[in-house]
Amino acid sequence: MAEFKLGRIRFVWKSNWNSSVTYYKDDIVRNGGNTYVCIEGHTSSSDFATDSLSYWNKISDGQEWKGDWQTSTYYKENDIVKYGGYLYIANTAHTSANTIDL
């Protein structure tokens, strides 16, 4: 039977990802509705998408409610918005334009 040493599991919840923060291996953050684990210590840049390529592994998918759709707003992947009585889920991270593109 496999032996597990639970004392070595050391994930540390850091809440929402933020720029200019020092993260260490095994830190856990939320970005949008998704949860990520840090795989290499670093100081975060201004863009999670850039950091995620080298420093983060996704450990769970999720969605985040953002309310009514707004122009010039940054939406992360899987953010949910309401527009004209319909709900939409962002399939890529983007800043919204003056009109909604469906």
d(CA 41, CA 59): 17
Biggest CA pair distance of the chain = 60
Using CB atoms within 10 A of its CB, is residue 64 exposed (0-12), middle (13-18) or buried (19+)? middle
pLDDT tens for 61-96 read: 999 999 999 999 999 888 999 999 999 999 888 899
pTM above 0.75, yes or no: no
Work out the number of other CB atoms within 10 angstroms of the CB of residue 8. Answer: 6
Task: Please write the tens of the pLDDT for every residue from 23-50.
Answer: 999 999 999 889 999 999 999 999 898 8
pLDDT at 42: 96
Dist. CA 75–CA 86, nearest whole Å:
17
What is the C-alpha separation between 94 and 66, in angstroms, rounded? Answer: 14
